[in-house]
Structure 1
Amino acid sequence: MSSKPPPRYQICLIGSGGVGTIASLVLTKSGVAHVTCVLRSSYTHISQHGWEIDSIDHGKLSAWKPDRIVRSANEAAKDTNECPVIYDYVVVCTKQLPSISPIPEMISPIVTPGKTTIVMIQNGMGIEEDVIQAWPGNAVMSSVSHIGSSVKSPNTVVQIGKDVSKIGPHLHAGIDDSISIERSKEYVKMYNMGGASVCEWVDDIQLARWEKLLWNGTFNTLCALMRMDVGELQRSKGREAILVPMMWEIWNIAKAAGHPMPETIVQWMAYRLPDDCNYRPSMLLDLEHGRPMELDVILGNPLKKALDLGVDTPCMSMVHKLLKLEEWKISQNQV
């Protein structure tokens, strides 16, 4: 009887929400990875009962678990025999809150300098900069994910939108481009082996991030600011009054930064959803529940880039200032 070959890749994933849990499922299903998931608040329940998954891509799974579940990155850094674990990939699926939970601090116990590739499945612009500064000799890549997946307490994940993503490397001076490209392509191959709906490797990941920012920087922020769902924002004429002008500001920043998008993308992004769409974006949900918003990376960093490049952003700047006031109110309630 032949023995099962050892997994080719050691992977540690942090952030098992709706997106992260599906990512851990896909990576586990690839058959070439041993997946360790860091679970904090949900550790006890998931370790006992596993996940109940209802997925458009993977069907219904009961009591599903990845290969290993741990409470912290420090625990993930060693195996059950207390031997160090050298991870090939660390996959970060948490919210991007650099002022509250800096990513380098969060993942430092499980990153081996010069060895571990860091994969960021997160929103916003400039998310890679702190990681590259912390590990200048490591490959860094990110994923622009379009997926409809959420967690229903305590252990149910419902995925209603297909797992579609663009993935590419963040090339930087500390590591040869060919290595960064190779490691990102290996990850994409593995992710496709696990049954992702669409996982596409791209050579310009920044362009993909700017494209997604056309949504996150406008619908996400304006729905939060006005406490409206997408359809309400559109029916109120807010789309024409401020959302489309904001999109053009983002389009202009991306062009000035060397990542031009086709002009047709603004019309398509602004008008692709019906006026009765009742979708409530993530920033609105965070605001309603008194949770920190990803404001720094969704608007703050693009505005810094616009200032450096001399791009005028009156709409984005005002929305950012108003949401900073909302952010302050949330912080007061947390004292």
Structure 2
Amino acid sequence: MDSEGRSQRHYQVCLIGSGGVGTIASVVLAKSGRAHLTCVLRSKYSYVSQHGWDVDSVDHGKLSGWKPHRIVRSAADAATDENGDQVTYDYVVVCTKQLPNLNPVVGMIAPVMTPGRTTVVMIQNGMGIEEEIIKAWPGNVVMSSVSHIGSSIQEPNMVVQVGKDVSKMGPHLHTGVDDSTSIEKAREFVDMYLSGGASVCEMVEDIQVARWEKLLWNGTFNTVCALMRMDVGELQRSKGRESMLVPMMWEIWNISKAAGHPMPESIVQWMAYRLPDDCDYRPSMLLDLENGRPMELEVILGNALKKAQELGVNTPHMTTVHKLLKLEEWRCQERRSL
């Protein structure tokens, strides 16, 4: 029984995408003692299946050779157990980058989905990312975790978490599932995640507001740092915060309000000025661009701009940054094709 007298259920959980965020999520779920956890590792399967993860975490301390219950190479392998019997998953947790044109989530998770049973938990960036999942499995619960965490991978198997695991989680309510069922499934996952030692995990009724709040960072600092090849401190000291970031944040704020998910006005000031001017943090989109990797451009800016156009919201700064990053994306694609 938990502290509120509820019986603790145990769940079959499949986690796909063990990068910095996904591996810490897998540690949390395993520590809860309530998840029989299967992790899908693609590029790192061979090494981690032998040596495990070495973790240096602000939340969980140092772990050497840590492994979840089971490691597999693909979702198809996760679909059956060691004896070849079908596994019915209660939760599928998706922690991959959101690249719908290169690696659509629907195809990725299909082997481990049971219609009407499996809840999808999306620990991913972007807006509108739940729509294709709901379309593919209209009778399943879909929920999001909007994560704020500082965690990265150092080769070959080191996970370094320097920022606490702080997240807001909640269901995407839709007509295929009763709202009460969606809320209950989301609450069960939040309870499990909290029991695994997450720093902060808050259940929210309107997960879209949390996604728009995250976009205030991802749609501004993440994108402009990438475009200008600057870290956060450089961008702020250059006055780019005042000339670009704050105007972009107000455009995002206006889209959110028009979409029926208003944020408090004070959040713009807080998001723009919360980090010191000597902050040397290099956002993920900048690192992707520097390393020639695909960026999450469309789910971060593209989908928000589509919503703005649909609602008649003016977005001159966001539109310009999106167009310039599309040129950078083209250049990266050209280099990868050589």
Alignment TM class, shorter chain as reference: over 0.9
Partner of 1:282: 284
Partner of 1:292: 294
Give 1:183-332 correspondences, 5 Å limit.
Answer: 183-332=185-334
How many residues are treated as equivalent by the alignment?
330
* Structure 1 residues 211-253: Cα deviation after superposition (integer angstroms, max 9, x where no partner): 0100000000000000000011111111111111000000000
Partner of 1:42: 44
Partner of 1:3: none
Q: Offset of 1:8 from its aligned partner?
A: 1.4
> Aligned equivalents of 1:100 and 1:196: distance in 2?
31
* Structure 1 residues 267-298: Cα deviation after superposition (integer angstroms, max 9, x where no partner): 11111111111110000000000000000110
> Aligned equivalents of 2:192 and 2:21: distance in 1?
17
Mapped contact 1:7–1:31 kept (Cα < 8 A): no
Give 1:80-159 correspondences, 5 Å limit.
Answer: 80-159=82-161
Mapped contact 1:16–1:38 kept (Cα < 8 A): yes
Q: Secondary structure at the match of 1:290?
A: coil
> Aligned equivalents of 2:21 and 2:266: distance in 1?
29
Q: Offset of 1:27 from its aligned partner?
A: 0.3
> Aligned equivalents of 1:186 and 1:229: distance in 2?
38
Q: Secondary structure at the match of 2:120?
A: strand
| TM-score of the aligned structures, taking structure 2 as reference length | 0.97
Which runs of structure 1 show a deviation greater than 6 angstroms over 4 or more consecutive aligned residues?
none
| One of 24, 27, 33 as aligned partner of 2:26 | 24
> Aligned equivalents of 2:114 and 2:274: distance in 1?
43
> Aligned equivalents of 2:276 and 2:185: distance in 1?
39
Gaps spanning 5+ residues in structure 1: where? 1-5
Gaps spanning 5+ residues in structure 2: where? 1-7
Q: Secondary structure at the match of 2:162?
A: strand
Q: Secondary structure at the match of 1:143?
A: strand
| TM-score of the aligned structures, taking structure 1 as reference length | 0.98
Q: Offset of 1:31 from its aligned partner?
A: 0.7
Mapped contact 1:57–1:195 kept (Cα < 8 A): yes
> Aligned equivalents of 2:250 and 2:34: distance in 1?
43
RMSD: 0.9
Partner of 2:179: 177
Q: Offset of 1:24 from its aligned partner?
A: 0.5
> Aligned equivalents of 1:32 and 1:272: distance in 2?
36
Q: Secondary structure at the match of 1:162?
A: strand
> Aligned equivalents of 1:224 and 1:149: distance in 2?
19
Mapped contact 1:231–1:278 kept (Cα < 8 A): yes
> Aligned equivalents of 2:269 and 2:197: distance in 1?
32
Letter in 2 for 1:275: D
Q: Offset of 1:7 from its aligned partner?
A: 7.2
Q: Secondary structure at the match of 1:173?
A: coil
Letter in 1 for 2:80: K
Mapped contact 1:163–1:198 kept (Cα < 8 A): yes
> Aligned equivalents of 2:268 and 2:161: distance in 1?
27
Mapped contact 1:167–1:205 kept (Cα < 8 A): yes
Mapped contact 1:116–1:139 kept (Cα < 8 A): yes
Q: Offset of 1:41 from its aligned partner?
A: 1.0
Letter in 2 for 1:135: W
Letter in 2 for 1:188: V
